A and B are shown apart, each in its own frame.
Chain A
Amino acid sequence: MIGDTPALSPAPVPAPSARPAYALEGHGLVKTFGSFRAVDGIDIAVPAGTIYGVLGPNGAGKTTLLRTLLGIIDPDEGTRTLLGEVQPLRMARQVGYLPEERGLYPSMKAYEAIAFMGALRGLPLKEGRVRARAMLEDYGMGGSIDKPIRQLSKGMAQTVQLFGTIIHEPRLIVLDEPFSGLDAINQEKLEALIREQARQGVTILFSTHVIAHADRLCERIAIVAGGRIRFEGTPGEARDQLRSQVRLRTRVSDGAWRRALPADTVAEDGAWLFALPDEGIEPLLRALLDGQAGIESLSIERPGLHDAFVAIAGAAAAQQMQAEPTPEEDA
């Protein structure tokens, strides 16, 4: 639940127990590939029972972070705890993972593929087959149960893999870019499925670079850029990172009232745009009325999570570019 933003205090590390407060924790995680630091000192803690989003632009380090937390790769530095266990694979039976790069055996039948993924996580194959058939039937894919994966559409194969991720009823589900490649209808279905799992007390951690999904689903988010967490908190707190924007239209284009507009005001399409002043809108309104500006319209627009994401990730990118030495400095 904590990033490396200085404004946030580090989360306490719970003692391992049957039901830890945090489903996933990582402290000081570093992972480098050659000279590239894909994960650069990340602290993260995902509260149990929440839907948690890891947001970031392409190449931000989201996938490496998830792979490190799950134990697929080991960090160069730092520690991680998965469901209270320091060796992540020991909890593999209680985890479901949908990787970014989807992979299934092309010759396997749909229900067998799901049951196989369950069997990998300890679910008896026989039970897995029964559950897989029921899942596909319920989802309206009854006609595809006995079809080999190679005969399914990309979206259907992705659904099969998703079912394989949850068939063994895990306590923690980790989804890496789960919405990519899905059409709008299937994205909607996936959102419903994630909510349903969360209602049952399952912790969901997913990564995405499409902010709308995180905005609709997540209770908490971490914005990752350049291998670091640049923000951690609720989506509302992310929005609060940006000030609301004011859009003002006046009949009169100039007058003494203009001096009351904030310094960062810009003109756009015949309107004045500026950030909501710290003291609120009332003093400005009074000045506009006194100066007879002729207010045509005035709206206060609260920034969306998308704006917050762009601002935070963009600032991080700018900061990183400044930090990287120029060729002259290198020389």
Chain B
Amino acid sequence: MRELLRAALVIARRDFTAVVLSRTFILFLLGPLLPILIGFAFGGLGDRISSTDLRPVVGVAMSARDTAALERAHDRLTQRMGDQALPRLRPVASTPSPRIQLARPDSEVVAIMSGTLLRPALTGKAEDLDKLQGDISLLSTAALAERTLRFVTVERQEVATSLGAQAQARLLIGRVAQVVMFFLTILLAGMILSNLVEEKTNKIIEILAAAVPIDAIFLGKLMAMLAMSFVGIAFWGGTAFAIFAALHDGGGSLPTPAVGWPLFLTLAVLYFAMAYTLLGSLFLGIGAQAATVREVQTLNMPITMGQMLIFFFASYAVDHMGSPAELAACIFPFSSPFAMIARAAQDGAIWPHLVALVWQASFVALIIRVGVLLFRRHVMQSGGSWWKRLFRPATG
């Protein structure tokens, strides 16, 4: 075992330095930040677009008195409901008929309100009427009751927290942790698929296989890629934290997960490592069977689909704590890390995490071993039935 780990570290060190000290690693680090920056830029632009242009405009073809009453009602309601709550109103001529006005090429309104406040009529496409009918009814009612409508003031009684809100917040933490872990895993573990192709195309595999057990090659490659992932996560996490700290100077406090933040973050790191090595060992085993990069690329899509299924399974389980589905998600090795991190957010018990980590680690070892034996059998063309050698020492 000691020799296996020593050899794995030699391989890991080589792979890690080869990746991290390459120029392309800078692109790798910067790559995930680009969508964030683009998101910021387009997010601000989007806000402006939604606040000005996207609200539907309804033409008002009514008497001047009714139109004025409607506009006053609109102002009073938007003060309480927000700018985006109601459609904009624009007075239009009462002739020709609304149908003719809406058919004009220069028409800028989506619907026209006509008639009186007591019997308003709304002309427009069916889907627009479906959306606007309620708002226009509210506006008309408020305009009619202009003098009698009094807004009631709600008294605010603040508490530090509520159990319902806490449960909601923890559910949210679990969901966010799952999504972040899933995207990091899908982003990083996919690279392992093509990891052994370099050794095979450059004929290095022969030198490695003659010197160390293939288990050590697989393990070393996983360790290197995991370490590289942690470098990436540290960089992205650090950047995200810096942006967060810059934008929110101390205002508001984050809700606390059930196990507390320090343990939750530790578990998040451990479960990410498990999710990564579980998928990574599977990818390594599958990718090792591929002879060319093209074969690896072909394998990529069905594997990604499989990952999506596992993620959906785990995210379904978040809302159903203690249900058979949630227990199944916790037990099934590939969904287990995702289900367990959501559990850590919502349930304070520690021992299930210890059991889960041991369970997941044993599956990593099992998948590596099967991958190695299949590699020996199909690529190195060595050894007989792989399952007979599953639990033999990895010393060749």
Spell out A's residues near B (CB within 8 Å): 33, 67, 70-74, 76, 87-90, 92, 95, 97, 99, 101-108, 116-117, 119-122, 125, 161, 164
Contacts and interface: CB of A to CB of B under 8 A. Distances in A.
Contacts of B149: none
B384 interface: yes
Interface of B: 6-7, 10-11, 13-14, 18, 22, 198-199, 202-213, 376, 380-384, 395-396
A122 B2 CA distance: 12
Given A71-B396, A119-B10, A104 B381 contact: no
Given A73-B382, A76-B384, A105-B14, A97 B396 contact: no
Given A89-B396, A116-B10, A72 B210 contact: yes
Leading 7 A-B pairs by shortest Cβ distance: A103-B203, A89-B396, A73-B382, A120-B211, A103-B204, A99-B206, A101-B203
B7 A120 contact: yes
Contacts of B396: 71-72, 87-90
A95 B210 CA distance: 9
A70 B210 contact: yes
Contact of A104 (B204, B212, B376, B383): B204
A320 B210 CA distance: 32
Contacts of A121: 211
B393 to A, nearest CB: 8
Nearest to B208: A120
Contacts of B382: 72-74
B206 A104 contact: no
Given A99-B203, A105-B204, A90 B381 contact: no
Interface centre among A67, A107, A119, A122 (most CB of B within 10 A): A119
A87 B396 CA distance: 6
B23 to A, nearest CB: 11
B395 A120 contact: no
A122 B7 CA distance: 8
A330 B24 CA distance: 58
A318 B22 CA distance: 55
Contacts of A76: 384
A116 B384 CA distance: 31
A103 B381 contact: no
Contact of B210 (A99, A105, A106, A125): A99
A72 B376 CA distance: 9
Contacts of B203: 99, 101-103
Contact of B202 (A70, A74, A106, A125): A106
Contacts of A33: 381
Nearest to A119: B10
The interface residues of chain B, by DSSP majority, are classed as helix
14 contacts: A67-B210, A71-B210, A73-B382, A92-B211, A92-B212, A97-B210, A99-B207, A102-B203, A103-B205, A105-B14, A105-B204, A120-B208, A125-B13, A164-B207
B395 A90 contact: yes
Given A71-B396, A72-B210, A97-B210, 15 more contacts: A72-B206, A72-B382, A72-B396, A73-B381, A73-B383, A76-B384, A87-B396, A92-B212, A97-B207, A99-B203, A103-B206, A105-B198, A120-B10, A120-B207, A121-B211
Interface centre among B10, B13, B376 (most CB of A within 10 A): B10
A164 B213 CA distance: 18
A16 B6 CA distance: 26
A222 to B, nearest CB: 20
Contacts of A70: 210
Contacts of B14: 105, 108, 116
Contacts of A73: 376, 380-383
A63 to B, nearest CB: 10
A89 B206 contact: no
A149 to B, nearest CB: 9
A98 B358 CA distance: 40
Nearest to B7: A120
B219 to A, nearest CB: 14
Contacts of B213: 89
Contacts of A102: 203
A101 B204 CA distance: 9
A116 B239 CA distance: 35
Nearest to B389: A74
A89 B395 contact: yes
A105 B18 contact: yes
Interface centre among A67, A70, A74 (most CB of B within 10 A): A74
A169 B371 CA distance: 33
A235 to B, nearest CB: 28
Contacts of B205: 103
Nearest to A122: B6
B395 A103 contact: no
Contacts of A101: 203, 206
A13 to B, nearest CB: 21
Interface centre among B11, B22, B395 (most CB of A within 10 A): B395
Contacts of A108: 14, 18
A164 B204 CA distance: 12
A107 B18 contact: yes
Contacts of A92: 210-212
A108 B14 CA distance: 9
Given A92-B211, A120-B10, A72 B380 contact: yes
Contacts of A119: 10
A215 to B, nearest CB: 27
A159 to B, nearest CB: 15
